[in-house]
Amino acid sequence: MIHKFMKLIVAHSAPDLDAIASSWIIKRFLPGWENAECQFAPAGEKLKGVYLRKGEVIEKVDDHDVIHVDTGLGPLDHHQTEDENTCATKLAFDYVLASNESLSGDENKIEALKRIVEYAVNEDHFQEVFLPDPDNEIYGFSIVSLVHGIKLMYPKDDQSVMAFGMDTLDSFYHYFENKVWAEKEIKEKGIRFDTKWGKGLAVETLNDTVLKLAQVMGYVIAVRKDPSTGSVRIKARPKRRANSQKPTAKSQVLEDVDIDLTPVYEKLRKMDPDATWFLHVSKRMLLNGSPKNPKMKGSKLTLSEVVEVLQNI
């Protein structure tokens, strides 16, 4: 039921990622539209009613301010163009960016949104067939697969699909915003060093994502020191599982390196015996702090001192 004087975002029925993401961008980032209600129309059509203002992004339908996304052939629909570099999500993003002054001044938020937009453009133009190993089951854990799954669970409940998609995009947005920050921390604060096992990277930062990011960037050893707690986390490249999917010729192949952090553990424990040091059974993780165990005591050792140990073991 539509109440009087509502702001409405109208997408097509059985919403796909583009319909969901464009609605999400409007609802989350267009000033004054955070409480807008999502409605649905048959694909290609518009909300029924008397149009008092028509043809603009924000139309007046009866008593409602209405934005159509991915349907209706309006400013935020792309089905009237053959441009393979756009979609409703991209059009909504460009519109919001020009309308939201606070967003336009935040580089991290913009970059995080750009990554979501680029994904939506590629997916809406079926570019997933060109991905490396496109039939790899890892892609089954994407937001597109999640949306397909929720539509199978609730085939006639567009509101539930939209709500699920928006919650999922909230999560992805925070993930990418955090990743952009981690990339910046590595670029501006990263200490690169050599060990007997290979290249290492160390960063003093609140952002724990730098560890995973350093590993996928190819560093054999990744170190983070938390400036708020003093805790130190050292992660070495994991061992490749014997039965894991073998990479194709096009895949980036990281060398499987034999690593044992036991000597590092023993050295650091002697240098700072009051700190809590935990050596993982794999011998590839040495933790002096973890959100999984808040009782662990951080170390007084500086990041440079930890790096020096790793260099000289």
Taking 3-state DSSP, the helix, strand and coil percentages for the chain, each rounded to the nearest 5, stand at 40, 15, 45
Q: What's this model's pTM, rounded to 2 decimal places? A: 0.91
Residue 296 confidence (pLDDT): 85
- Provide the token pair at 157: 């409940």
Query: Helix or strand or coil: residue 240?
Result: coil
Structural domain boundaries in the chain: 7-181, 190-312
pLDDT tens, position by position, 221-277: 999 999 999 999 999 999 988 776 665 544 456 888 999 999 999 999 999 999 999
Q: How far apart are CA 1 and CA 21, in angstroms?
A: 23
What's the average model confidence in pLDDT over 102-106? 90
Average pLDDT, the chain: 94
Q: How far apart are CA 78 and CA 185, in angstroms?
A: 37
Query: Helix or strand or coil: residue 220?
Result: coil
What's the average model confidence in pLDDT over 26-31? 98
pLDDT tens, position by position, 138-150: 999 999 999 999 9
Q: How far apart are CA 123 and CA 116, in angstroms?
A: 11
Residue 246 confidence (pLDDT): 60
